[in-house]
């Protein structure tokens, strides 16, 4: 093997310590300002008017009544809204023409003195449509299915090696099942929201910002680079600010139509600032969601449970207005060894809202199917599910043949089995009962690619005895304010009190988004490079104002190694024998993610991902109206997310001797997503162990268990009668 060429690792002094969140005190007090909470003198309030047809054209808009309402400042629609400079991305070209692409698409925008007036006026805007036939359902026989050019992770739609059909025909054990996952919505607690202020071309003697967006986003520079061309502004003159972000889970990884609308309204009302908050209901149409999937999974194995074939055919959907292709089959390509393998993706672009990133796009639904299929195979082979995974551990990445940086899946499984008290051997469904409750345990593997995104740069400046470090990164709850301060301190070899971090603002150098579990890696690489450049140029006793800026050094290891995080999820469930009610009294996750930069915030990320995994397993499902394609469960009363009482004993640990040597100077990999990957499968597998009922479509709800529980209940009944 070639000499290690990877990054030079930092000496962890501040890194590895459980430093409390630097923004914590502000957050528990409520004085950390989120997007629309920033001051904006004299700001007007905007409210959107949504289309009521799924496809067609706006025939007429009558805003007379709305305009007559005292306090209404403007009603914008496609006939009078400011023009965008580049409307090629149709998500970013609202109110530019009369086309309706999906129900709930904004067709007008009201701006008023107050939110009450804006909302009332929006309800008074009368829109008439010429409706056209729409297709809104994901069906295996949809005429709109096609093979996408690429998946959203940039990989091929279809892959194949060996002869899957022949291997399946010759296999001793075969799993051939269809799994389904529902539409899901990110629902960060802070709604997407923006304050837009149009200063105009003359601002600041011609070089100040033309437009300022205080936005709730996972990446200020992503908003700038996406929207500057749309709005016809030089990128440097589009200012974006987001110091605190109330969650995103992917939906805030790129701007959506609401941000463009806020900008257009601000332009129309310049220089008056405009606040636009997407309502919780509108978030189910405008800011992205996880597509539903239908996944045909086939596994073939020999008599010992060694996989001979892995086949994963994915059906999913996207939007007619804009393509986004979930990389559902991607993780299957690298997970287990098998000589014959294939993955395919077929997508239908429907007359519906635009899907986008939701925590572990691809990995979450794909690994649900894969890990339930593995559990089914273990059952058919009469093997302990962990032993099945041991027998199929690959030596090199099955997809590329590259060596793994370090693959410690089996250690995660073994550590977890020990801590959880996993009973070895094949599962024996319906074998444990406590009173009215059937009890079961389940396990599933987890994986997530170790990413570092290009295009990061950081500045270090010596000011008033402190080191000011700037990078346009984001803290969406992940703890970046704190962990990046720790990274910077170690990169400069000083204490935390000497660091003044600046993030969440385009005045700082370019940074990639907080997404793909890549934030800390990508930003930390640039920060370390800037700190090293600073020391090289200015030494250990810098003079006031000394400064250095650096980008990311080349890392040839990224081409030579398969770098992934791994994990093992264990779940215990209790299913009520009569009602089918499901409780999850215990979950454990064991992860290999490299070095813990901050153990406190790392653990919270794992736990948060696992809670979302539990939520996906048991509750989350956006129900689409089959006629119009909008989501009918469009609030938090009908779209259920896990509440406090749904979560019981939850534990996350990690391999603490883990150091990633190929990715970044911190020795870390990223942890935002791995907690949600595999955890739904562990719960579904535990439900099978408890009840003998195999559910293959999420979420697992009582109604899906009742038919299978019936024989059990009848038996109880007979036994009860006999003993009476």
Q: Does 478 bind another protein (CB under 8 A)?
A: yes
Q: Does 470 bind another protein (CB under 8 A)?
A: no
Q: In the range 242-261, which residues lie near another protein by CB under 8 A?
A: 243-247, 249
Radius of gyration of the chain (CA): 27
20 binds, among another protein, ligand FES, none (CB under 5 to 8 A by kind): another protein
Residues 90, 149: Cα–Cα separation, whole Å: 19
Residues 181, 310: Cα–Cα separation, whole Å: 20
Residues 511, 492: Cα–Cα separation, whole Å: 20
Min CB(604)–ligand FES separation in Å: 9
485 binds, among another protein, ligand FES, none (CB under 5 to 8 A by kind): another protein
Q: Does 189 bind ligand FES (CB under 6 A)?
A: yes
Task: Output 167 or 616, the one with its CB closest to ligand FES.
Answer: 616
Q: Does 654 bind another protein (CB under 8 A)?
A: no
CB 108 within 8 A of CB 63: yes
Question: According to CB under 6 A, which one of 16, 33, 229, 247 is a site residue for ligand FES?
Answer: 247
Q: Does 339 bind ligand FES (CB under 6 A)?
A: no
Residue whose C-alpha is closest to residue 511's, from 500, 524, 499: 524
Q: Does 642 bind another protein (CB under 8 A)?
A: yes
Q: In the range 657-676, which residues lie near ligand FES by CB under 6 A?
A: none
279 binds, among another protein, ligand FES, none (CB under 5 to 8 A by kind): another protein
Measure Cα distances from 543 to 485, 532, 534, 539 in Å: 21, 16, 11, 9
Pairing of β 106-112 and β 44-50: antiparallel
Min CB(494)–another protein separation in Å: 11
Report how many residues bind another protein under the rule CB under 8 A.
74
Residues 168, 486: Cα–Cα separation, whole Å: 51
Q: Does 28 bind ligand FES (CB under 6 A)?
A: no
* Strand partners for 313: 296, 344
Backbone angles phi, psi at 354, to 5 degrees: -85, 120
Q: In the range 266-285, which residues lie near another protein by CB under 8 A?
A: 277, 279-280
478 binds, among another protein, ligand FES, none (CB under 5 to 8 A by kind): another protein
Task: Output 257 or 476, the one with its CB closest to another protein.
Answer: 476
Min CB(598)–another protein separation in Å: 10
Task: Output 51 or 216, the one with its CB closest to ligand FES.
Answer: 216
Question: According to CB under 6 A, which one of 440, 477, 479, 504 is a site residue for ligand FES?
Answer: 477
Residue whose C-alpha is closest to residue 509's, from 556, 469, 540, 463: 469
Task: Output 22 or 264, the one with its CB closest to another protein.
Answer: 22
Phi-psi region of 328 (alpha: psi -120 to 50; beta: other; left: phi over 0): alpha
Q: In the range 34-63, which residues lie near another protein by CB under 8 A?
A: 34, 37, 39, 45
Task: Output 405 or 470, the one with its CB closest to another protein.
Answer: 470
Q: Does 477 bind another protein (CB under 8 A)?
A: yes
Residues 160, 165: Cα–Cα separation, whole Å: 11
645 binds, among another protein, ligand FES, none (CB under 5 to 8 A by kind): another protein
Q: Which residues contact 134 (CB under 8 A, 6 or more apart)?
A: 53, 54, 55, 351, 628, 629
DSSP code per residue over 420-440: HTPPPSS--TT--EETTEEEE
Min CB(479)–ligand FES separation in Å: 11
Task: Output 123 or 189, the one with its CB closest to ligand FES.
Answer: 189
Residue whose C-alpha is closest to residue 523's, from 475, 459, 473, 485: 473
| Angle (nearest 5°) at CA 456 between 453 and 460 | 145
List active site positions: 673
Measure Cα distances from 599 to 26, 246, 369, 570 in Å: 21, 21, 31, 21
Q: Does 643 bind another protein (CB under 8 A)?
A: yes
114 binds, among ligand FES, another protein, none (CB under 5 to 8 A by kind): another protein
Task: Output 331 or 477, the one with its CB closest to ligand FES.
Answer: 477
Q: In the range 596-625, which residues lie near another protein by CB under 8 A?
A: 600-601, 603-605, 607-612, 615
CB 96 within 8 A of CB 87: yes
Task: Output 151 or 602, the one with its CB closest to another protein.
Answer: 602
Q: Which residues contact 167 (CB under 8 A, 6 or more apart)?
A: 300, 308, 309, 338, 339, 340
Min CB(645)–another protein separation in Å: 4
Residues 208, 233: Cα–Cα separation, whole Å: 12
Report how many residues bind ligand FES under the rule CB under 6 A.
3
* 3-state SS class at 600: helix
Q: Which residues bind ligand FES (CB under 6 A)?
A: 189, 247, 477
């Amino acid at each position: 093997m070639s000499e290690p060429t990877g990054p030079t690792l930092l000496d962890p002094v501040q890194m590895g310590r459980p430093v409390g969140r630097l923004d914590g005190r502000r957050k528990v007090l409520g004085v950390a300002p989120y997007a629309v909470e920033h001051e904006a003198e004299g700001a007007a309030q905007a409210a959107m008017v949504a289309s009521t047809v799924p496809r067609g054209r706006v025939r007429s808009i009558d805003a007379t009544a709305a305009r007559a309402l005292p306090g209404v400042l403007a009603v914008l629609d496609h006939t009078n809204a400011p023009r965008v400079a580049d409307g090629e991305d149709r998500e970013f070209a609202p109110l530019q023409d009369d086309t309706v692409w999906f129900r709930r698409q904004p067709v007008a925008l009201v701006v008023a003195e107050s939110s009450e007036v804006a909302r009332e006026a929006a309800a008074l805007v009368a829109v008439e449509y010429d409706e056209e036939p729409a297709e809104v359902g994901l069906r295996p026989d949809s005429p709109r299915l096609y093979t996408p050019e690429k998946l959203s992770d940039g990989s091929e739609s279809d892959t194949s090696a060996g002869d899957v059909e022949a291997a399946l025909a010759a296999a001793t054990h075969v799993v051939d099942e269809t799994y389904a996952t529902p539409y899901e919505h990110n629902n960060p607690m802070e709604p997407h929201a923006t304050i837009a202020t149009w200063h105009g071309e003359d601002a600041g003697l011609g070089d100040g910002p033309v437009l300022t967006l205080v936005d709730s986003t996972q990446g200020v520079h992503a908003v700038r680079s996406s929207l500057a061309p749309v709005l016809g502004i030089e990128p440097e003159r589009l200012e974006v600010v987001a110091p605190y972000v109330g969650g995103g889970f992917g939906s805030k990884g790129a701007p959506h139509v609401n941000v463009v609308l806020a900008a257009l309204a601000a332009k129309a009302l310049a220089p008056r600032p405009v606040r636009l908050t997407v309502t919780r209901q509108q978030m189910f149409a405008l800011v992205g969601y996880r597509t539903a999937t239908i996944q045909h999974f086939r596994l073939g194995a020999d008599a010992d449970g060694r996989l001979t074939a892995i086949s994963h055919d994915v059906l999913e959907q996207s939007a007619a207005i804009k393509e986004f292709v979930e990389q559902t089959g991607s993780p299957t390509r690298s997970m287990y060894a098998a000589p014959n393998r294939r993955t395919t993706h077929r997508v239908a672009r429907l007359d519906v809202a635009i899907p986008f990133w939701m925590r572990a796009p691809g990995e979450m639904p794909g690994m649900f199917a894969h890990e339930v299929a593995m559990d089914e195979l273990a059952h058919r082979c009469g093997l302990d599910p962990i032993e099945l995974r041991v027998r199929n551990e690959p030596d090199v990445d099955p997809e590329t043949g590259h060596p793994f940086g370090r693959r410690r899946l089996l250690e995660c499984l073994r550590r977890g089995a020990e801590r959880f008290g996993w009973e070895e051997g094949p599962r024996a469904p319906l074998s444990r009962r406590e009173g009215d409750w059937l009890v079961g345990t389940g396990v599933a593997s987890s994986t997530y690619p170790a990413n570092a995104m290009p295009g990061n740069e950081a500045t270090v400046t010596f000011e008033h005895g402190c080191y000011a470090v700037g990078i346009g990164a984001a803290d969406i709850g992940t703890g970046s304010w704190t962990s990046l301060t720790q990274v910077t301190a170690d990169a400069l070899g000083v204490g935390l009190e000497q660091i003044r971090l600046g993030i969440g603002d385009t005045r700082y150098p370019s940074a990639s988004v907080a997404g793909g579990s890549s934030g800390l890696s990508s930003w930390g690489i640039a920060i370390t490079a800037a700190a090293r450049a600073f020391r090289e140029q200015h030494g250990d006793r810098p003079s006031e104002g000394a400064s250095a800026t650096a980008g990311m050094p080349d890392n040839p290891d990224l081409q030579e190694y398969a770098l992934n995080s791994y994990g093992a999820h264990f779940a215990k469930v209790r299913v009520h024998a009569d009602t089918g009610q499901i409780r999850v009294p215990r979950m454990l996750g064991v992860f290999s993610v490299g070095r813990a930069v901050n153990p406190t915030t790392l653990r919270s990320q794992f736990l948060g991902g696992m809670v979302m995994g539990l939520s996906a397993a048991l509750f989350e499902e956006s129900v689409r109206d089959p006629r119009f394609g909008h989501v009918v469960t469009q609030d938090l009363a009908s779209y259920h997310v896990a509440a406090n009482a749904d979560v019981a004993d939850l534990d996350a640990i990690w391999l603490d001797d883990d150091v990633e040597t190929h990715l970044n100077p911190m020795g870390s990999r990223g942890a935002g997503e791995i907690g949600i990957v595999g955890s739904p499968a562990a719960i579904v597998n535990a439900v099978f162990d408890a009840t003998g009922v195999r559910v293959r479509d999420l979420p697992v709800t009582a109604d899906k268990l009742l038919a299978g529980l019936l024989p059990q209940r009848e038996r109880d009944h007979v036994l009860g009668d006999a003993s009476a």
